[in-house]
Every structure is written in structure tokens, then in C-alpha cells.
Structure 1
Amino acid sequence: MSFGIYIQPARAACIITGVAYRDYNDNGQQEALEPGQGGVVVRAYDAAGGLAGTATTADADGSYTLNLPSDGEVRLEFDWTATFLYSARFGANSETTIQFVECAGAVPGLSLGLSQPAEYCHMNNPDLGTSCYTFEDQLRGPFSASPTFITFPYTATGDAAHPVLALASQIGTTWGLGYHRASDSFFVASYLKRHTGFGPNASGTATTTGGIYRMRPSTGQVSLFLDLNTLPAAFNTGDDPHPANTTDCPPNFFNNCWQYDTDTYNLVSKMSLGDLDVSEDDRSLYVVNLNTRELLDIPIGYEATVPPASRIRRYSLTGLPGTVCSSSADVRPFALGVHDGRVYVGSVCSAETSQDPDDLRAFVHSFDPLAGGGFRLELSFPLNYPRGCADQSDVNCPVNPFTGRSRSAVWNPWTPTWPNPDNEATVNPEPLLTDIVFDNQDMVLGFRDRFGDRAGHQQPGPFDLGSGQLANGISSGDVLRACRDISGVWTLENNGTCGGITTGGAGNGEGPGGGEYYFHDRNNPNIPADGGERHDEISLGGLVDIPGSAEMVMTVFDPLCENCGFPDALFDGGVTWLNNDTGTRFQSFRIFNGPSIPPPPPAFIEQFGKSNGLGDLEAVCGPAPLEIGNLVWEDLDLNGVQDPGELKLANVSLRLYMDTDGDDDVDTLVAQTVTDADGEYYFNEQNIYFAGLFPPGTPGINFVDINGNGVRDDFEPIGLLPDTTYEVRLDDPANYGGGPLTPYYTTRVNTRVINDGNDDFRDSDGVNPRPRELVTETNFPVTVAVTRLYGDNDHTFDFGFALQPPPVTSTPLPGTPGTPGAPGGSLGISKVPDDPFAEPGKIVAWTITVTNDTDTPATNVVVEDRVPDELEIVPPLPANATAIGQLVTVTFDLIPARSSASVTITTRVRDDVAVPFIIINPAAIVGGPSTEANIISVQRLPETGETPLVRWVILGGALVILAVGGWLLARRFNRV
């Protein structure tokens, strides 16, 4: 007799790998400059619904690895907490938040793209826009018809054409600049600059220091959007210090007060407005009031309308944490940036009080606008680092022969005095942090030389009224880079190194730590540092960085002076492109060609030469498109959940419908597609052949006509409309009579199993009017698909089918306890609020109705109403209801055949609910297939008595969103 043992072979390991990444252009493909995204949790579930494994994507590159037993198909679920990120569209390197994979051996490439709609740009060559400046009174002066805002293509070089968008008489002098995608609007903010005046107030006959102007590139419309000086005194931006006219001033050599503009000199960067940005969701304008040193949050909405003053939030920018300054009066905020759900504010300590250069310092703070405040310090650094020459004509920065001072670009404390009397080349660099942009997760800081806005080109000093000496002001701005590590800490560049990259500016003596990352921020970049005429710091402080590009663009002077071989390349203004990895220049464009020799009196030079002749930069990037989908499958166990191992149904035809004539009926076919081999389908601009106009109601146009001109402009997205109600229907006869849906029933809908907030990702949404009958071309499932904001793709519209009808609610018949009700109908549930438009503190009553569509009475029907935390339950409850915490349980003892029963639950919207917000309130029959979730829109009611913009109603069992007086502005806040 022999004995032995049996050794069971180990199951082969299943190793699933992939990456989560930022899909900047939302095309479903990871490209070279699209980085990985850390912090995404990937969970694997087996066929029994058990959690088989969990991984989190790495902060460094977004990669993850799941080590699982080889045990058939698994379902992967991707989840993240960053509310500003959305699922990118389906593509070669990006499926959706729910993915299925056969687990055997190595399984690479299970990846997910994540989109940030504010980072999307509709084309590789968008237009850029910037402010430019002209001499004297902007309303009635000699250059009132000159351009003060222009646009140009991203690929512009040399002296390419640049269309004019606004004139001096329309907007005056501006700096702060933002582009509002949803309305195709540039917004620009008034700015105080010596020798050039403000733009018009509402009357058009006087100026305002607090003007925010709106310009629409596609239509050429220019208007005053908001004058902050017409609001309560707390918003005041200061009085206009410019000359009232050209001759009402003490006798002087030139007999033109604008050439001296004495009262303006010491107020530059201390009054009027600073930087302006548009929020990532297009709902707010952020602007810095330099007069009050406050940040203003102006809620303008998608349609860009002026809110009442009571809705404008004000945030003090003095006394922020970590702001170390010798005098609180010297804290000077100016710059803004928006990135990944936070607003960034830049300021400097001017050292004006102490006059000690060691007190010069820069600060960057940020806050979460949804939290309503709570600034935190992101970055702080001294500004006494070495810099190059503001003006160089030989090996060393020359000494000013009149003052004995060097023309170095080293930052100086702000000063009320004129530094270089009777000097043709006037230099006194004073730091002003004016712009913040982001390259992936790194921060780029634009510095403007304040003195460049206090001097001029071929203009006298402000106090030498009897002198005939003209000075060429030479500004000396800068651009610095700060890199973010995986823990979220920012570190300023040091000796030309940032984030592990060292550029050719290391050791050049012109930056923090003795080197300079962006070392080509100078004219004549191709000559050695020790020879030739050169300005080492030519930045004017305006920046733009389009996500996914390899470069940063900034405003400069003398953009074409490379070895100064270009004819007449001095005293000009334009832009230059610097590579983010090498710090080198590879493209330049001239906007104005300034004369180096002044014209004879009484004529004046219009532009500002080397003295800050341009403002901020912004790109015209249209709204991100939309996509909805995604799965049709066979639900083998009838649980309403997309389980691993279940059959995906190919070649199923789906049709998309919308309301195109404004009659509230979703009855126009606008798209059709079929599922692929994996049972997936998607509606986007590739298959939408009718999308409607903006506002809805005019048929025949397949794009979102944002500016309403009836012509598709290149920034206007095609395909699905945002915030619009669609229906996805499986009504194509080809699906039935031997088609791919023969012989199926619909499975149960809206199943909640894990209750982790992601159940909608994995459930079935197709509602069938007769769920216990086979699906046919007259008994087909439908789901209501309400699109969200631009770029907020929604892959939760799924359809499950089964070879058996869904189970009936277990409601024993009289006299036969425990016996389920007989087939022949079903129990349905509806839940309707008495007012779907609410505000914090409002009472909302919800009526729950259970309909017995069977031929027998139903008894002991139990309904669970899970009241969300944003609502508090108001007693008393109905007699047949009880509550434990936020769970209300209602028991209907008897519902006769072919009848219904109702109950009303009263709630109150909590006072601390942030607005706007959408509250989803579900109710379900316990043990049954029916769930009803209804919603209310929580917003602040307009304080002017105007009609609310959005109303939600329920018509015929379908959710319908109505826009009152304009385009729809609703949003659901769940993420897919």
C-alpha cells in the first residue's frame, strides 16, 4: 500500500495596472504633457459582490497596481474626493468609472482620464488677448480712438495682424483680465497708470476708477459691465487722481498736465483695481480692490449678469496668516490665480515704510471659495535675491551719471520720490506680484515693475515742472517658478532649478539662489551675459499657460530684439513664449512698434515704450463638450447591479430625444447609436446631429450658440447642451422581434447595494411602463438624462435586462401570510416636493404615493425615506410613520387593487446649506424594485423681486427642468 498527498496548485496571480491622469483636452487619450493624478481609489469587486482588492493611484505619476487572485471577471470602480475633477470622455486610454476585466495574469492599461473643464481648450491655436495703453485722457484725448485691447492667434510671430477689440474711449486703462467661457466674454478691470486715464462710467461723460468692462470677441460688443463706485461706499475704489484737463496745472515746460500727472505718481498700485480672474465653474468674477485691499467675489452666473451688491462677497487681504511685513500698511495685494478648486492671491510687502530692501517679500495665499474663506499661506519668500541689469550697455550695469546709482534690476522698496531726476534712462525697480498661473501642478509667478507704471516713455518726472528733461522709463519685471511636491508643499526655484529640472540659467547671478529658471526673460537672449546692450528683465507681469502646452507666454517689451538685428526693434511691446522645461525663448510677437525719437511738440508719443506698455494675458478657450452613456447588459441574478461575469449586450440601438420647440415635451430625435462589443454606448458631438440653439427653441443648429449670432464660432461646442433634459430611449424596432433585446424583461432600477454614494454608477436606470412584460417596440425602457455643466461627463445612464421579470414587492395577500402577491402588475412609487425651488430655511413638504397596479390588494407595504442631511425632519410625522435619525419608515396597512395611497413628510432646508445646491431625496419600497428620487434646487432667492431663473417640476413622471427668462443654470453635484 502506498500513501501520497495531493498538493493543490496555487492560483495564478492577476496583476491589474493602470493610471489615472489629467485629460486636459478631454479626448480619452493620455498625451505626453498630461500628468498622472494621485489619490484616486481603485476597488475591485468579484462576481459575488465582495471586495477583492483596493489600490490608490500614486501622487507621483497616477499609477496603481492591484494584486488579485485569478478568479474570473472583476468590476473595477474608480473613486476620488477632488470635487473639481470629472470623468473624461471614453477613449483609447480612458474608459469610465466602472470597468470590467477578465482577471488572469498581467492585465495592463486599465486607466481613467479625469477632466477639469476649466483646463480645457477647444483648439491648439486659440486667440490670446491683452490690454495696451495710450497717452492722456481716454475719453476725449488725442488717442481716444486708439486700441486699448487686442487679440492675436497663439501661433503669431513677428508683426502678425492683431484685431482690435476695444478702444481707449470704451474701456480706458485696464489690467485685470479674465475670459468667461459660458458667455464668450472678456472681462477687464480699471487700472491706475500714470500718463493714461480711466475708462467711462455709465454716463459715458465721466471716468470711473472701479469699472469692470465686458467685451465679446465673436461679436465685437463692448460695454461697462459693473461700476463698483455705484455700489455702497465699502466697495469704493478711490477718486480719479488724473488731471481734469490738459492745462489746469502750474506752469510747466510742456504745458500739458498729463505729461506730469503729479497726483497719480504715488497712488499707483494703491487704488483702483488689480488682477481679475473668472472662477473655474464660470459662476464668479474675482477682482482685487486695491483701495480697500480686499478680494471681491462677484457671482455672475453662466449668463454673466450683474448681481445685487448684497451678494458680492468681500475678503480682507491684510492680516493673512504668515504675512510678515515691517508695517501692515505695506502689505500690497494684487495677483490672482484659480486652480483645482482654490483661489490664489499674491501680494508683496513693499517696505515703503522702512525703506529696507531686506523687508521686501512676496506671499501667495489660497482659499476654497465653497468654504467661504479660510486663507492659508502657500508660499513666502524674500525679494532681495540677485537680479541682472535693468539697462546694460557694457559688461557691468552702468552707473547713472546724474545720481551715481547703478541701473541694476535689483528690487527696491516702494518710494514716493522720483529716483533719477534729469536722467534720460530712468530705472527704479519696485516689485509688484501681478499674476499667478499654473503649469501642471507647478506655479508660475508674474512680477511687474511698479515703477514702469509710474514712469513713461519720453515723459518728464512728476515733480520737475520747470524742466525740459524727458525720461525713458525702463521697467524690470520678472517671472519665477515654484514647484509642488507630492505632499503639496511649494518650493521656489533655486539657482535655476525647480522640481528636479535645472535650466541654462543656473549660476547666471540673476535669480533666487544665484540662478534663473526662465533665463530668457530678457531682450537679446542670444548674446553672452557679459557683453552687448541688453535688458536682463523684460517681463511686464502678464502670463498665460494653457494646460497641456509645453510653454508659458508673457507680456514683455522689445520682444523682437534678438541681437537687436530686427529693424526698429526698440521701445516696442509684445509677447514671448518660454519653454517650461528649458526656460528658453522660442517665439516672439510684436504688438506695438514704439518710436525711439519723440515727435516735435506739441505732438506726443502714444505708446509707453519700455515702461509697461501692455497688461495681462488671457486665452480664448471655449467650453468643454459633454458626453453621456454607458452600458447595456444582461442582469443574470436580477439584482439590478452590474456584476462581473454578466453578459454585455452588443448591437443594441439607443436613441436620444430632447425638447426643441419649448413645449416641454421631450419629443425630437437628435441622435442614435448602437452598443459596441462590450455593451457600451456614448452620445457626444460625434453622433449628435441636432442640438438646438441657445437659448432653446430654434431648431436646425447642431452647436451651442453662446453669443446668439446664429453662426457657429470656433469656440462654441457642438453636441450635447449643458443643463438640458434629454431622454435615452430603446424604442428602435430593430431591437425586438429577433433583435438583441429578444426575449428580455427590464431588470429592477436604481438599486442601492453598497450605499457608498456610487450606486448610480453600477445600477440600471431604464424605466419600463410595464416591467413585468417583455420589452417590445411599444414597451421599451427610457431614462431621463439631465446633462450638467460643460465638461461634466455623465456615464451613469445604464440599462439592465433579464430573462425573467423583476421580483414583485413582498406584500402578503389577506388570509395568506407570507405569500407574495400574484403577478399581473406591480407597485410603483412617486415622490414630489410641494416647491422644487427653495432657499435655506424654507419648509418643503414631500408627498410619497404608492400605486398598486396589481389585481389584488397589497398589505403591509413598507416605504423607506432616507432624508438627506441637508434637510431636517419637521414633526409631527404621519400616524403611520416613524423616524430614526434621518430614516423615515412608512407602513401602508392596505392598498386596494388598482388604487394608491399617499403620505406627506415635512422637512426644512438647513440654514447652513451652501448655495447653489441640488438636494436629492430618495424613497424606496422595501424589498421591491421601485425607487423614486426627487430633487429640489436650493438657491438664494433674488433680492430684487425678479423671477427665479430655474424652476424644477415633475410632469408625467419625468423630471423636467424649466428655464425662466433665460438659459438654464441648474446642476447636479454627484460626480462620475
Structure 2
Amino acid sequence: MNRWIKFTIIHFIFAVFTTTLYADVGGTVFRDVPVNGTALNTYGVKQSNEPGVEGVTVTAYYNSTSSSTTTDVNGAWSIATSGDVRVEFSAWPIYLNESPDGGGNIAVQFVSDGDTGVDFALHEPSDYSNTAEPYYILGRQQTGTATNNSNPGVEAVHYADSNLSSDFCNEAGDQGIGPVPTVSAEVKDVGSSWGQAFQKDKQRLFLAAALRRHTGLTSVGAGRVSVLDYSAGVGSVTNSYIDLQDVTPANGGTDIDLGTVCRDTSCKDDAGNTGIAADYVLPDNVSDPSVDLDAYGKVGKMSFGDIDFDQTSNTLWLVNLYQKGIISVDASGDLSNLSTATKQYLIEDMTNAPSCTNGELRPWALTIHNARGYLGAVCDESEVADGVNDGNKTSSDSRALVLSFDLSDPTTGFTVELDIDLSYKNGDSESFYSWKTWSDDYNRVDTTHWFSEYNQAILGDIEFDENNVMYMAFINRYTMQASFQNYHPVSGNTDADENILSIADLLRACHESNSTYSLEGTGTCTDSNHDGYFLYDRGGDGTKDYSGGALALLKGSNQLLHLTTDPSRTGANTNDDGSKYLSTAGVNTLSTINGGVDNWYSIMYTNPQDGDDCDSGKSHSGYNAKGSSLGDIELITAPTPVEIGNRVWIDANNDGVQSPDESGISGVDIELYSADGATLIATVETDANGYYIFSNNPDGTDTTSAKYNLTSLQPNVAYIVKLPNADGASKQSE
């Protein structure tokens, strides 16, 4: 051949279409989401629920000149041109990548005359799912030490599962009819936990320790982060852990400290302690009550709060409650060298850290969204003396805050996204619904009802949907300070009659055109479908504000998974008798369209008083009835497919740039090798237009020019592409 054959290799295919153009061209740059309701979307093809991406640069090259524009708020663009046009997309947001689609979605396009459908798809790696019904993970908590407790500690639930697990009976004594969850780990493997984060490319779940009174940590202590490997599926999980206690951060500062709690005889005589072993020691038997005196005032103040994972940088992020720090761990490797992989940023040292009046800042929630971290915290108003406020209700000094920060450099400080006055509930006709100031004094607890209550706000979880609507779930701190049928936090107490009600809120905030957020009831966020709020958060017994403090959301599903007490559809879409679902714990699937209940699943019955023969010997003991029996919710989804491919074409003018009039070459053999060139992974042959692709997508269909399900093809790994049958200077030797 007397002409050069050229090719390029990129992560996603740049397909080329050649024709003549004599009119304006235009299209839409949009953000792919995995599903549209219950239907799986096709990546690279715009669906009705996929939002446009604003501010992307589009450049058209034609007749030896060029013109540029940027996409509008809806992702639309249009450029006046003439002749054949090369269109290039660039400068999209750093948190978005080109969407995989097997060949059609390309950042460089040659378009037809007057083509107004020149679209370009982007996606956020954490959004991707190859199913509309993934599994989600729940951590189950049980009182007593974690030692030798072989009951389920972590379980996988299928997204569509409904009703009460058939492992249990309901309040009326009827056998549950729901599927039984798959056990991923036992209590002894993980201990008391809360925050969960999933690393998609390695298919492993991080599960962080959390302090609950009466519920034991593992022997590793408050710094344990369990690592569960799901690469072989939810039914075949291996378990390991890392310990962040005493790790020296790579960015300097004091060693990481997650705090300690006295739970054995060795510390009973420490300064300030009573000297009575029974005040501190946890029993091995889950049916035996305990005092657990030291833990009462340390709940929400030590170990970890929430955690999340940044799929783009392969970084695990955690909230250190004891030092009030944000921890990052580079998880791209095997986690064997924590001293170089770990950094910590002390919240109160960061620029624009909020100050609190009459109290302290208490962080917990953490989520990653659009290349920023979002930290949820409250000003606890803990310095207000007993009785100063009406029934110790909060004043305007108690606030819930959502603070965002730059993941690439948290030292640049916080942006305050929301500042919520927590006294908003003080006018409720039932005083026990109101938030109270934080306190470690048990004497403030109201025991005049059938349950005891002292509701203290923890902002537990934050989620965003594809339209940047923010959802916030609160934890009631008292549900972690007390547990059903346990002793009071008083030295020597033997009254095993603790009983609690998990009163906490579920809120929504809308993203405004000026990039600020408006709390529901303000701005454009005015829908109030349920008890004055958008989202339904009543339990099966009719009690409102039943938030367990955890959320999960599959983008495009129009649904929000919400941890709750007594999940059921009562009062929403059916006439179910909600009393059958008293003292159960699980998830309500809420509609983000109307706030109602689309589905519900109870993972267990939690009342140890009401064991029934139909429970097949399942123990109810050690579960926290209407308190905190479960932890965070985390979806288990596949990583974005890796694609290697491009086009082989005749470079007629020998400039190395694909021009509209330069055609592709069919029938060219393309070989993919490992980085060392020693292992041939796959071979394809270019199609009629010169295109080829290699992919690890298990759902693709092989053709002569495309090979899928190449399991050895992994992200962030180098490979070699060879053209063994090319002639001339392009020929590559074997």
C-alpha cells in the first residue's frame, strides 16, 4: 500500500460517520442513568429521564475553520456550519466519564447535513448498574458481646423482595411470606457497625464499626473496618478487616484515635468509674441484660459515623466521631500499607468550619456526589442546662448542617449547602416528637409513656437523585443509647425494662437554578404529600417520623430505599393491617415522584417478648424492637464496563487526524495483549467501517469485530494493541 494506515487506542470508542453537511448541526449532551423506573436503560442512548449536562464545550471544524459553543441548562447545543463537519466534545465535568455503549457514543463525530441528533452521553461511575434490581446490604445488630455470636450480622436483600422474611412471624403470629436474605457475615465477624461503602471495581464492601450501648464491638475495637469480598457473589463472601486506630496520617498530624469504651473488668476502677464490674461488662448471652454505663454518654462521639466510596479515585472516606475528622484511605491497592494510604482532615481546623452556640458540632453523615464530599452534622446544644428550654426542646441554636468539600483537596474548606433550624418540630401536638438538646444525663429521659424518650438528632445519611434533589435521614441518638429490655444507665441498676421508640425525620431539599438548595416547604420545594412533608415516614403502627437514618438510591429508579421501623404500606398504597408488622425492622421503598410507599421489606421481627412456635426456633432476643436494630443500606452494583477500541482508517493526507473523507478499512486483524506483550487476550477484525472493540461487559454479544466478557480486562491497567497484518510503516513486528 502507498498510503499510511493509522489507528488510536482510547478507553471508549470514537466512531466516525462521513457525509456532507450544508446546515446547522446540534444535539444534546446528557447524563446516563442506569434505569428508567423499573426498565434498564441503554447507555449511550438518551432516555426521557436522563438530564442534560450544562457547560460542555462543543467545537465544529468545517471548511478550514471552526466554531465553538457550550451546552445550555438542558444540555442542548447548536452551531451554524457549512460543508462536512467534524464535531468534538470536551471540557465536561471532571466527575463524568464517556459512557460505554459498545461503539456508538463518541466524543469526535462526523455528521450529516443538518443533523440535529448529534448527542453525546456521559456517566458517573458510581451510578452504573447492569440491573434494575440489584442487591442491597443491611447490617444486623444484636446485644451482648460479638464473641462467638453466629447469628446473621450482615445480609444481602434483593431489591424487589417484599413482606416479612419467612424466617420470622409477625405480631399476629402469622408466618412471614417474604424471601429470606442471604447471610454475608455473622455478628462475631463484624460486631456493632453502621457505615457501609462499596468499591465497585474490586466488588468489596467496607463496613465500619459503630458504638451502640449494649452491643459489642469486635476485639479489634472502635477502629475496625470490615472488608467483605463480594466478587464471587452475595452467597460466597470472604471477610477481612483493616484497623485505623493509631494509624499515622500520611498528611501529618496526630495519630488517628477513634476512642475507647469501658466494657470489661480491667477498666472498672479507672478514674471516674464506679469500680463495679457489672456496670461495664457485656454478657455473651444476647438474652441477658446489661448496664453498659460508659457507653451511654459516648454514643455519637466515638468510633465511626458514616462512610462512602469515591469510585473515580478509588478512595474510601470515613467520619471519625472522636477526633471529629474526615479520613481518606487509598483503596486502589491491597490495603496492606495504611500509613501511606491514609490521611485525616480535622473538621474544626478546616476553612469555614461552622461554629456552634451552646454546644458542639457532631458529624456523622457522609456521601460523595459530583466530585464533592457532603458531610452531615448537627450543632448539639449540649451546653444548655437541664430545663432551660421547654422540656429540654431544642432552640434555634440546634442546627443540622450539610457541608460540602473538595475531594481532591479538603483543606480548601467547606461550603454550607443547608442550615436547618432543628426547633421546627417544637410546635407538634405530641411533645415527644420534638428534638431535644444532646445530653449524657439519663435523668432527662421522659419515662411517662409506654416507652422512654429523649430524641436527639444525628444527621445520619444523605443521598442525591439524578436531578440533584437531596434526601436526608436522621438518626435518633437515644435509639443507640438504649435497647429493649436492658438495664438503665445507672450504677447497679437491675430494672430490665428499657423500651424506646425510633422517632426521627426524613427530609428533602430541592436544587434551585442558582445552585443552592431549598428545604422542603421553601423555594420550589413545596410539595407536602404526607403529614406536611413530601416523603411518607410512618410505620405500620401509624407512628410518624419513623426514620432509621439510612438511605440508598439507584439513579433513575424514582425510588428511595429508607431504613425504618415497622415497614409496611399502611396509609400509602394498600389497606394492609399495619399492626401485623409491629416490632419489625427493614426498608420502605419510597417513591421520589409522590413520596408514597412502593414496596416494603422487613428483614426480621424484633420483639423478644413475643417469640412464637412458627419462628422455627429463631431467637428474637437481643434485637432492639422499635430502636436501632439495623445499620446503613448499600447497593451492590457492577462496575462500568471497560472498553478498548477505535477505528482503523486510511490517512490520505498523512496528518494523523481523521477527516470526514477518509474511509475506514475493513478486515484488519487487531490483537489485544497484556502490558508485557506476553499474553494474547483476544483478536478481532475491523468491520466494514474500520471499527473494533474489546470489552469486559458480560452482557455484550460477540461479533467478528467485537469481543465481550473479557474478564482479564480491568480499569487502570495498561494493554498493548497490535495490527499484525498491516503493511508499510504501520506494520508491527510480533
Q: 1:257: Cα distance to partner?
A: 8.7
Name the counterpart of 2:187: 168
Runs of 4+ in 1 over 6 A off after TM superposition: 254-257, 687-690
Q: 1:466: Cα distance to partner?
A: 4.7
- The separation in 2 between residues aligned to 1:291 and 1:132, in whole angstroms, is 23
- Which of 203, 210, 213 is matched with 1:194 structurally? 213
Name the counterpart of 1:66: 79
Name the counterpart of 2:295: 264
Indicate conservation of the 8 Å contact 2:398/2:423, yes or no: no
Indicate conservation of the 8 Å contact 1:325/1:359, yes or no: yes
- Which of 465, 472, 475 is matched with 2:499 structurally? 472
Name the counterpart of 1:17: 26
| 1:297-696 alignment, distance < 5 Å | 297-301=328-332, 303-318=333-348, 320=350, 321=352, 323-327=354-358, 330-354=360-384, 356-384=394-422, 386-387=424-425, 397=430, 406-407=431-432, 409-418=433-442, 419-421=445-447, 423-440=449-466, 441-463=468-490, 465-466=492-493, 468=495, 470-494=497-521, 502-505=527-530, 508=531, 515-518=532-535, 520-524=536-540, 534-560=542-568, 562=570, 565=577, 568-595=580-607, 597=609, 605-644=621-660, 646-649=661-664, 651-659=666-674, 664-666=676-678, 668=680, 670-677=682-689, 679-684=690-695, 685=697, 686=700
Residue identity opposite 1:286 in structure 2? W
CA 277–251 in structure 1, closer or farther in 2 if over 3 Å, else same: closer
Indicate conservation of the 8 Å contact 1:389/1:536, yes or no: no
- Which of 146, 149, 172 is matched with 2:151 structurally? 146
| 1:743-762 alignment, distance < 5 Å | none
What percent identity do the matched residue pairs reach?
23
Q: 1:670: Cα distance to partner?
A: 0.7
Residue identity opposite 2:435 in structure 1? W
Name the counterpart of 1:45: 61
Deviations 1:235-259 (A, max 9, x none): 121112335599823699x999953
Determine helix, strand or coil for the equivalent of 1:175: strand
Deviates more, 1:479-488 or 1:120-129: 479-488
- The separation in 2 between residues aligned to 1:703 and 1:580, in whole angstroms, is 35
- The separation in 2 between residues aligned to 1:607 and 1:689, in whole angstroms, is 54
Name the counterpart of 2:226: 213
Q: 1:371: Cα distance to partner?
A: 2.8
Determine helix, strand or coil for the equivalent of 2:439: coil
- The separation in 2 between residues aligned to 1:417 and 1:534, in whole angstroms, is 30
CA 566–287 in structure 1, closer or farther in 2 if over 3 Å, else same: same
Residue identity opposite 1:40 in structure 2? V
Residue identity opposite 2:72 in structure 1? A
Deviations 1:345-385 (A, max 9, x none): 11110111136522111112222232352122232323335
Indicate conservation of the 8 Å contact 2:501/2:627, yes or no: yes
Determine helix, strand or coil for the equivalent of 1:298: strand
Q: 1:290: Cα distance to partner?
A: 0.7
Name the counterpart of 2:107: 97
- The separation in 2 between residues aligned to 1:729 and 1:131, in whole angstroms, is 48
Q: 1:614: Cα distance to partner?
A: 0.9
- The separation in 2 between residues aligned to 1:588 and 1:359, in whole angstroms, is 36
Deviations 1:391-442 (A, max 9, x none): xxxxx63xxxxxxxx32x2211112223124653122221101212211122
Matched, 1:722 2:715: yes
Q: TM-score, normalised by structure 1?
A: 0.62
Indicate conservation of the 8 Å contact 1:670/1:688, yes or no: no
Determine helix, strand or coil for the equivalent of 1:458: coil
- The separation in 2 between residues aligned to 1:222 and 1:85, in whole angstroms, is 32
- Which of 85, 91, 94 is matched with 2:96 structurally? 85
Deviations 1:162-201 (A, max 9, x none): 0111112111100111111222211111111011111122
- The separation in 1 between residues aligned to 2:216 and 2:193, in whole angstroms, is 10
Q: 1:445: Cα distance to partner?
A: 1.6
- The separation in 1 between residues aligned to 2:567 and 2:87, in whole angstroms, is 52
Name the counterpart of 1:249: 278
- The separation in 2 between residues aligned to 1:56 and 1:369, in whole angstroms, is 26
Deviates more, 1:223-232 or 1:347-356: 223-232
- Which of 315, 333, 352 is matched with 1:284 structurally? 315
RMSD over aligned Cα atoms: 3.4
- The separation in 1 between residues aligned to 2:189 and 2:703, in whole angstroms, is 40
Indicate conservation of the 8 Å contact 1:457/1:605, yes or no: no
Q: 1:23: Cα distance to partner?
A: 1.7
Deviations 1:657-716 (A, max 9, x none): 214xx9x33562613143345x444333446699xxxxxxxxxx9756xxxxxxxxxxxx
Determine helix, strand or coil for the equivalent of 2:412: strand
- The separation in 1 between residues aligned to 2:243 and 2:345, in whole angstroms, is 19
Q: TM-score, normalised by structure 2?
A: 0.81
Indicate conservation of the 8 Å contact 2:141/2:630, yes or no: yes
Determine helix, strand or coil for the equivalent of 1:278: strand
Determine helix, strand or coil for the equivalent of 1:170: helix
Indicate conservation of the 8 Å contact 1:657/1:666, yes or no: no
- Which of 158, 162, 170 is matched with 1:157 structurally? 162
- The separation in 2 between residues aligned to 1:466 and 1:606, in whole angstroms, is 18
- The separation in 1 between residues aligned to 2:633 and 2:517, in whole angstroms, is 24
Residue identity opposite 1:416 in structure 2? D
Indicate conservation of the 8 Å contact 1:40/1:56, yes or no: yes
Structure with more relative contact order (C-alpha pairs < 8 Å, separation 6 or more): 2
Determine helix, strand or coil for the equivalent of 2:422: coil
Residue identity opposite 2:497 in structure 1? L
Q: Which ranges of structure 1 fall in alignment gaps of 5 or more residues?
A: 1-11, 202-207, 391-395, 398-405, 509-514, 525-532, 691-700, 705-717, 733-767, 772-779, 783-955, 959-976
Q: 1:551: Cα distance to partner?
A: 0.8
Q: 1:770: Cα distance to partner?
A: 3.9
Matched, 1:27 2:43: yes
Indicate conservation of the 8 Å contact 1:180/1:282, yes or no: no
Indicate conservation of the 8 Å contact 1:278/1:285, yes or no: yes
Deviations 1:78-110 (A, max 9, x none): 011422222113469x5311111133xx42210
Indicate conservation of the 8 Å contact 2:521/2:528, yes or no: no
Q: Which ranges of structure 2 fall in alignment gaps of 5 or more residues?
A: 1-20, 35-41, 166-178, 269-275, 386-393, 613-618
Deviations 1:51-82 (A, max 9, x none): 1x2221112x21112223xx321110101142
Name the counterpart of 2:71: 57
Q: 1:272: Cα distance to partner?
A: 1.2
Residue identity opposite 1:17 in structure 2? G
Indicate conservation of the 8 Å contact 2:666/2:685, yes or no: no
Indicate conservation of the 8 Å contact 1:211/1:226, yes or no: yes
Q: 1:231: Cα distance to partner?
A: 5.8
Q: 1:604: Cα distance to partner?
A: 8.3
Determine helix, strand or coil for the equivalent of 1:516: coil
- The separation in 2 between residues aligned to 1:630 and 1:34, in whole angstroms, is 26
CA 423–521 in structure 1, closer or farther in 2 if over 3 Å, else same: closer
- The separation in 1 between residues aligned to 2:262 and 2:427, in whole angstroms, is 32
- The separation in 1 between residues aligned to 2:679 and 2:214, in whole angstroms, is 61
CA 666–483 in structure 1, closer or farther in 2 if over 3 Å, else same: farther
- The separation in 2 between residues aligned to 1:688 and 1:47, in whole angstroms, is 39
Deviations 1:317-347 (A, max 9, x none): 12551614104x5101111111121122111
Q: 1:458: Cα distance to partner?
A: 2.8
Indicate conservation of the 8 Å contact 2:289/2:487, yes or no: no
